[in-house]
A = this chain, B = another copy of it.
Amino acid sequence: MPQPLASLRWPACLLLLTFAAVPLHAAEPLASWNDTAAKAAIIKFVETVTDEDSAGYVPPEDRIATFDNDGTLWTEHPMYTQLAFALDRVRTLAPQHPEWKTQQPFKAVLENDLKTLAASGKKGLLELIVATHTGITTEQFEAIVTDWFKTARHPRFKRPYTECTYLPMVELLEYLRANGFKTFIVSGGGIEFMRPMTMEVYGIPPEQVVGTTIETKFEMQDGKPVLMRLPEIDFIDDKAGKPVGINKFIGKRPIAAFGNSAGDRQMLQWTAAGTGPSLKMLVFHDDAEREYAYGPANGLPNSPFGTFPQDLMVEAKQSDWVVISMKNDWKTIFAPEKD
Contact = CB atoms under 8 A, between A and B. Distances in A.
Contacts of A225: 243, 266, 269-270, 273
How many copies the complex holds: the figure is 2
A20 interface: yes
Interface residues of A, number: 64
Interface stretch (A4-12, A159-167, A295-303): A4-12
A199 B61 contact: yes
Interface stretch (A42-50, A101-109, A125-133, A147-155): A42-50
Interface string A15-31: 01101101010010100
Nearest to A44: B2
Contacts of A224: 273
Given A47-B1, A47-B2, A251 B191 contact: yes
Interface stretch (A92-100, A205-213, A306-314): A205-213
A288 interface: no
A239 to B, nearest CB: 8
Interface of A: 1-10, 13, 16-17, 19-20, 22, 24, 27, 29, 43, 46-47, 50, 61, 64, 138, 178-180, 182, 184, 191-192, 195, 199, 205-209, 213, 216-219, 224-225, 227, 234-235, 240-241, 243-244, 247-252, 266, 269-270, 273
